[in-house]
């Protein structure tokens, strides 16, 4: 086994980027960020005090006045440079992503690819969608134009599970369209964005204040939303917070895109090609140790497929090599924190208490090389009933609940009414008719057909419904309309 070298094993006390300068926070509220694979602290995270959060917004507002006047074809040049910068430092950023989050290096490289893809699509946006509409001669001598104008400062609030990719669902679009941003990474995984911030600050030459970075939790987020200069917030995280953020944004009259949690079903029909689908199906549940909003959570077996599905799925999942994501051959990393491990373990216990049967139990996994890491092995609970807590609530870990169903109709009913989440749902089948029924009737934003993680590329909206999403416009390409407002001018000459 080889281990990829870590650039550093401690990233010090993180700083804030305000108005183009790195600032040492005066905060006394300093938390620890971990390398979850080793259970070691890798950074100290000061939670910005109110004055620092305000300064970040004010510097973004001051920058906006000038940035909006920069022609879009000049703004886009910064994104070309940003793309080149991220590409050049991709491997370093992927390693830091793995160090702080715990996912495997391959998974981190995948995050970096999607990060780059969003920069590329934002570049394309500036040439296409940012154009307005012109209608000449709507009446004699009267012409109409509709321009998309930037609005000002936006705050970008991020979850722990994609420390680089998720900020980039929004950041490049906001900037190229003429807005300015204050990014607040997750306090659990702030290190990758901090490093990218250092690179941007050192090499991109962006005017000061266009991109600001603060650290913190609830207080910082609420202050950002309430600040009079903040025009809107993008939020990605758990459902209770997503709902709270959406409500608060509404109370302050702000725009909001608010993505929440998930409980995704992977449904398997008796006519599915199990052998061909198995690697993809296993990756759906156990990729990123199940800490993905598109991860499979309930594995619904329809009719006679149950026994062979359970056998093949358990055998493939149990063979996954769990370990440090920087060690070659590792296929699944740890959970992000000891609290996350505790929460997921409690869900497993609750499932067993309610009568589920363990087909694979990852609770006893111990890694000799990393005794302090937050590991939990792939866990599969069979005979899960739709009414059990583990079938309804988001677990966010490497746990699959196998839920038997008799028919496709019954399975679709479970998806639509068994939980109130609507992020993703997937079907494995060789029947076009079943696939079509599923696609049309399931109430979720992302549908996979023989695909276990239905992740939309950057040129598509990142959907979500019911308790998985609050808002109208979505992340990625949809955010073009979020970050701009339409101004109609009617003129007569």
- Interacting residues toward ligand NAD by CB under 6 A: 157-161, 184, 186-187, 217-218, 221-222, 236-238, 241, 244-245, 259-262, 293, 394, 396, 423, 462, 464, 468
Residues 315 and 299: their CA atoms lie apart, in Å, by 15
* Of residues 98 and 277, the one with the C-beta less far from ligand NAD: 98
CB of 444 to ligand NAD, least distance (A): 11
Are 99 and 191 contacting, i.e. CB atoms less than 8 angstroms apart?
yes
* Of residues 35 and 259, the one with the C-beta less far from ligand NAD: 259
Per the listing, tokens 């023989």 go with 450
CB of 260 to ligand NAD, least distance (A): 6
* Of residues 161 and 330, the one with the C-beta less far from ligand NAD: 161
CB of 340 to ligand NAD, least distance (A): 8
Active-site residue numbers?
293
CB of 239 to ligand NAD, least distance (A): 6
User: Could you tell me which of 66, 80, 60, 181 has the C-alpha nearest to residue 127?
Assistant: 80
* Backbone φ and ψ of 228, nearest 5°: -65, -25
CB of 379 to ligand NAD, least distance (A): 18
Are 213 and 194 contacting, i.e. CB atoms less than 8 angstroms apart?
yes
Task: Write the CA distances from 157 to 160, 171, 190, 236, 434, integer angstroms.
Answer: 10, 11, 11, 7, 39
User: Could you tell me which of 462, 443, 460, 475 has the C-alpha nearest to residue 263?
Assistant: 443
CB of 205 to ligand NAD, least distance (A): 28
CB of 294 to ligand NAD, least distance (A): 8
Residues 375 and 229: their CA atoms lie apart, in Å, by 43
* Of residues 172 and 260, the one with the C-beta less far from ligand NAD: 260
Tokens (6 digits) for 493 = 């000459």
Residues 322 and 282: their CA atoms lie apart, in Å, by 14
CB of 291 to ligand NAD, least distance (A): 7
Residues 242 and 89: their CA atoms lie apart, in Å, by 32
* Of residues 130 and 224, the one with the C-beta less far from ligand NAD: 224
* Of residues 216 and 362, the one with the C-beta less far from ligand NAD: 216
User: Could you tell me which of 392, 343, 382 has the C-alpha nearest to residue 363?
Assistant: 343
User: What are the residues whose beta carbons fall under 8 Å from the beta carbon of 54, sequence distance 6 or more?
Assistant: 223, 227
Q: Which residues of 51-75 are buried (b: 16+ CB within 10 A; e: fewer)?
A: ebbbbbbbbbbbbbeebbeeeeeeb
Q: What is the DSSP string of 98-149?
A: HHHH---HHHHHHHHHHHHHHHHHHHHHHHTTT--EEEEEEETTEEEEEEEE
Q: What is the DSSP string of 258-289?
A: EE----EEEEE-TTS-HHHHHHHHHHHHHGGG
Residue nearest to ligand NAD (CB): 237
Residues 130 and 109: their CA atoms lie apart, in Å, by 30
Per the listing, tokens 């679009």 go with 173
* Of residues 174 and 475, the one with the C-beta less far from ligand NAD: 475
CB of 471 to ligand NAD, least distance (A): 11
What residues are paired with 32 via a beta bridge? 44
* Of residues 38 and 184, the one with the C-beta less far from ligand NAD: 184
Could you report how far apart the first and last alpha carbons of the chain are, in Å? 75
* Of residues 213 and 305, the one with the C-beta less far from ligand NAD: 213
């Amino acid at each position: 086994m080889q281990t990829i070298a870590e650039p550093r094993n401690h990233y010090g006390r993180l700083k804030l980027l305000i108005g183009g300068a790195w600032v040492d926070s005066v905060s006394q509220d300093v938390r620890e960020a971990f390398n979850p694979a080793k259970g070691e602290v890798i950074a100290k995270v000061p939670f910005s005090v109110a004055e620092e959060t305000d300064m970040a917004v004010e510097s973004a507002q001051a920058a906006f006045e000038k940035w909006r006047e920069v022609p879009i074809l000049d703004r886009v040049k910064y994104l070309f440079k940003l793309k080149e910068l991220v590409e050049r430092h991709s491997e370093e950023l992927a390693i830091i992503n793995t160090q702080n989050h715990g996912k495997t290096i391959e998974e981190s490289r995948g995050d970096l690819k999607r990060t780059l893809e969003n920069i590329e699509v934002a570049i394309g946006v500036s040439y296409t969608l940012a154009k307005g509409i012109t209608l000449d001669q709507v009446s004699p001598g009267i012409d109409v134009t509709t321009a998309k104008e930037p609005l000002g400062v936006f705050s970008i609030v991020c979850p722990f599970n994609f420390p680089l990719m998720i900020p980039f669902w929004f950041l490049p679009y906001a900037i190229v369209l003429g807005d300015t941003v204050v990014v607040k990474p997750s306090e659990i995984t702030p290190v990758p964005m901090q490093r990218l911030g250092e690179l941007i600050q050192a090499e991109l030459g962006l005017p000061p204040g266009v991109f600001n970075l603060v650290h913190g939790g609830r207080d910082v987020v609420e202050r950002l939303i309430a600040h009079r200069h903040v025009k809107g917030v993008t939020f990605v995280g758990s459902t209770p917070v997503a709902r709270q953020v959406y409500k608060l944004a509404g109370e302050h009259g702000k725009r909001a895109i608010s993505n929440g949690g998930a409980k995704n079903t992977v449904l398997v029909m008796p006519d599915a090609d199990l052998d061909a689908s198995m690697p993809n199906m296993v990756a759906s549940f156990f990729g990123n140790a199940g800490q993905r909003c598109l991860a499979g959570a309930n594995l619904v077996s329809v009719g006679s497929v149950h026994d062979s599905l359970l056998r093949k799925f358990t055998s493939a999942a149990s063979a996954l090599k769990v370990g440090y994501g920087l060690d070659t051959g590792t296929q699944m990393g740890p959970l992000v924190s000891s609290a996350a491990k505790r929460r997921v373990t409690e869900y497993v216990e609750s499932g067993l208490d309610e009568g589920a049967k363990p087909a694979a139990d990852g609770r006893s996994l111990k890694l000799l090389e990393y005794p302090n890491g937050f590991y939990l092995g792939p866990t599969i609970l069979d005979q899960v009933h739709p009414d059990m807590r583990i079938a309804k609530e988001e677990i966010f870990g490497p746990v699959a609940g196998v839920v038997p169903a008799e028919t496709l109709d019954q399975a679709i009913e479970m998806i639509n009414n068994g939980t109130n989440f609507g992020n993703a749902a997937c079907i494995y089948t060789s029947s076009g008719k079943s696939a079509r029924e599923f696609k049309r009737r399931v109430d979720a934003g992302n549908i996979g057909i023989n695909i276990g993680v239905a992740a939309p590329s950057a040129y598509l909206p990142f959907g979500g419904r019911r308790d998985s999403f609050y808002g109208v416009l979505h992340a990625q390409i949809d955010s073009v309309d979020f970050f701009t407002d339409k101004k109609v001018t009617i003129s007569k000459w």
